[in-house]
């Protein structure tokens, strides 16, 4: 099947150079890229399903949740105080 794809000039030049460097055609390179995206889709779909929100999130998203859940104040002041970990103001740069 044929399809027309509009690339910006700079991207097309880069694609053409990369295809030549690999000894392949632009068509082959684009098809390889599309296959790569489609093969990666199940991991993305799993991440969306696991999030329960219907939105994609990276697999590491929420790893810090156990530490954030008991905290009531998420203001920048509270975050800075937490990072300081009890250091005195004089010791701060």
**Residue 78's pLDDT is what?**
82
Assigned domain for 50 exists: yes
Assigned domain for 36 exists: yes
Assigned domain for 33 exists: yes
Assigned domain for 66 exists: yes
Assigned domain for 2 exists: no
- pLDDT in 10s for each residue of the chain, 93 residues: 888 999 999 999 999 999 999 999 999 999 999 888 877 666 656 656 665 666 666 667 677 777 666 677 778 888 788 788 766 555 545
Assigned domain for 80 exists: yes
**Residue 81's pLDDT is what?**
81
- Which residue segment(s) compose the domain that 46 sits in? 9-85
Start-end of H helices in 1-93: 9-22, 26-51, 65-68, 76-84
């Amino acid at each position: 099947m044929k399809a027309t794809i509009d690339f910006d000039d700079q991207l097309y030049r880069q694609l053409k150079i990369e295809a030549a460097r690999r000894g392949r055609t632009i068509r082959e390179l684009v098809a390889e890229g599309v296959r790569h995206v489609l093969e990666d889709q199940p991991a993305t779909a799993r991440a969306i399903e696991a999030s329960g929100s219907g939105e994609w999130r990276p697999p590491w998203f929420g790893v810090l949740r156990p530490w954030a859940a008991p905290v009531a104040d998420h203001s920048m002041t509270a975050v800075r105080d937490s990072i300081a970990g009890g250091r005195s103001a004089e010791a701060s740069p």
